């Protein structure tokens, strides 16, 4: 049922948003050098890596200087990237990931291997479910970049405070999930974006 919900929602979404995709792609190409999409390896269900799609919001090679984005004014972010990130438009290509079957609309946000390797056995249980575009943690840490910007050591803050909290929220979702819960999380995510 969940897979059917994902497919129907994505097909409708991609059909409606096709003009938006084209406009964003053109703006990215005209505003900075590099590809339209940013492809990053993330850890999916059963601890298997997959290629996650995003609209590119950073300068080429920006990820080599750190995987975390610190603050809303990270100098590596392009001018168009600020806007795309603010309204989460850079995440839209993940609808394609959902259609491909390596993501769901709702589920634990997939992490990069560097941080997954820090999970203990209990935390690694969240890898038993398919990752999602949004979840409780995405709502709770909507302003994560700004939180990290206030830290003297963003990496340490992420690993010791934010990551364990995200995992706890993911386990909350896994313990009680369903279509209605997914609809609720999608609604709360959209509400959070529009309130900005």
Give pLDDT, residue 80: 92
Q: How many folded domains does the chain comprise?
A: 1
Per-residue pLDDT of the chain (196 residues; tens, 9 = 90+): 899 999 999 999 999 999 999 999 999 999 988 999 999 999 999 999 999 999 999 888 777 666 666 555 677 889 899 899 989 999 999 999 999 999 999 999 999 999 999 999 999 999 999 999 999 999 999 988 888 888 889 889 999 999 999 999 999 999 998 999 999 999 999 999 988 6
Q: Helix, strand or coil for residue 51?
A: strand
pLDDT at residue number 73: 64
* Cβ atoms 129, 181 nearer than 8 A: no
Q: For the whole model, what pTM was predicted?
A: 0.90
CB 34 within 8 A of CB 57: no
* Helix, coil or strand: residue 60: coil
Domain span at residue 178 reads: 2-195
Q: Where are the beta strands (DSSP E) in 107-145?
A: 132-134
Q: Show Cβ contacts of residue 99 under 8 Å, excluding neighbours closer than 6 positions.
A: 7, 10, 11, 14
């Amino acid at each position: 049922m969940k897979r059917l919900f994902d497919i129907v929602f994505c097909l409708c979404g991609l059909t409606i948003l096709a003009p938006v995709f084209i406009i964003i792609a053109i703006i990215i190409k005209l505003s900075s050098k590099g590809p339209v999409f940013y492809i990053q390896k993330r850890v999916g269900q059963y601890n298997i890596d997959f290629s996650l799609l995003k609209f590119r919001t950073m300068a080429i090679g920006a990820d080599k200087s750190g995987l975390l984005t610190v603050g809303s004014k990270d100098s590596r972010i392009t001018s168009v990237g600020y806007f795309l990130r603010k309204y989460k438009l850079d995440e839209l290509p993940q609808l394609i990931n959902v259609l491909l079957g390596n993501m769901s609309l709702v589920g634990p946000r997939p992490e990069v291997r560097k941080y997954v390797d820090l999970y203990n056995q209990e935390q690694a249980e969240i890898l038993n479910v398919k990752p999602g575009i949004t979840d409780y943690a995405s709502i709770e840490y909507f302003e994560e970049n700004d939180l990290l910007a206030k830290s003297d050591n963003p990496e340490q803050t992420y690993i010791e405070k934010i990551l364990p909290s995200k995992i706890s929220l993911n386990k909350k979702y896994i313990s009680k999930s369903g279509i209605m819960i997914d609809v609720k999380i999608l609604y709360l995510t959209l509400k959070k974006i529009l309130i900005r």
